[in-house]
Amino acid sequence: MRERPVEHDGRADERDKRKLRREFLTVRSRLPEGVVREAGDALAERALELPELARADAVAAYVSVGSEPGTLALLDALRARGVRVLLPALLPDNDLDWGEYAGPDSLARVQHGGKMALFEPSGARLGPDAVTDADVVLLPGLAVDTRGMRLGRGGGSYDRVLARLERAGAHPALVVLLYDAEVVAQVPAEAHDRPVHAVVTPSGVRRFTSA
């Protein structure tokens, strides 16, 4: 695990976050397709062992893109269990709307300006507050540390999701999906950052008590 200095200055934290994001994205970009595919299958197997997912009626998830740890196998397995799977649709202000996953044919590839293309639900939109009905929220990320603090991509979409859950008094299990090497000693954290309950990697599950 890499050691990171503890930062207390918000601007320094954000600079460190940007640097770390570049590092992790560079490593991901070099992963062979076969490794990404195998990691997705292993992630699905490990995640389905979580008791929180076993008893969930509704799960908010996302469709992986590029070299992100694959999620499609997990989405299909959850749907086969009868779980209601909610997927995000990016709004112009970087907030997230939600729609229901009804299989691979229910996804549409959407290009958001100069950002990467995303796969989003093509059916009816349920509104940003739909996420508050989820028993588990699966979060994308680039790293997580031993406190459960997650390093996201920096767009702020999931910061809004977490704030919305807090305002609604909703307390779903928060789980981030990563590669094994992306569980590190410490990532920079700001006052608004919230820890997750668990991380799932291809080799297993790690839980955090600070969430």
- CB atoms < 10 A from the CB of 78, how many? 24
At residue 31, the pLDDT reads 94
Q: Which of 1-10, 50-59, 98-107, 112-121 has the lowest mean pLDDT?
A: 1-10
At residue 177, the pLDDT reads 97
Q: How far is CA 53 from the centre of its chain?
A: 15
Torsion (CA) 198, 201, 203, 207 in degrees, nearest 10: -10
d(CA 54, CA 48): 7
Query: Using CB atoms within 10 A of its CB, is residue 1 exposed (0-12), middle (13-18) or buried (19+)?
Result: exposed
- Tell me: pLDDT of 7 over 60: no
For the chain, the domains span 10-207
10-207: in CATH 3.40.50.10420:
yes
φ/ψ region of 85 (left if φ > 0, alpha if ψ in -120 to 50, else beta) reads beta
Q: Which of 1-5, 32-36, 121-125, 146-150 has the lowest mean pLDDT?
A: 1-5
Q: Which residue, among 133, 142, 192, has the nearest Cα to 162 in the 3D structure?
A: 192
Task: Determine the average pLDDT of the residues in 187-194.
Answer: 83
Render 139-171 in DSSP notation, one character per residue.
Answer: E--SEEETT-BEE--SS-HHHHHHHHHHHHT--
- Tell me: pLDDT of 193 over 90: no
How do residues 126-184 score in pLDDT, each as one tens digit? Answer: 999 999 999 999 999 999 999 999 999 888 899 999 999 999 999 999 999 999 999 99
SS3 state of residue 206: strand
Task: Determine the average pLDDT of the residues in 80-90.
Answer: 97
Pairing status of strand 150-151 against strand 107-110: unpaired
SS3 state of residue 134: coil
Q: How far is CA 9 from the centre of its chain?
A: 26
At residue 117, the pLDDT reads 86
At residue 9, the pLDDT reads 54
- Tell me: pLDDT of 210 over 70: no
What's the mean pLDDT when you consider all of the chain? 90
Total-model pTM: 0.90
| Inter-CA distances, 196 with 73, 177, 192, 206, 211, Å | 22, 11, 13, 11, 5
- Tell me: pLDDT of 109 over 90: yes
How do residues 111-132 score in pLDDT, each as one tens digit? Answer: 887 777 899 999 999 999 999 9
Beta bridge partners of 195: 149
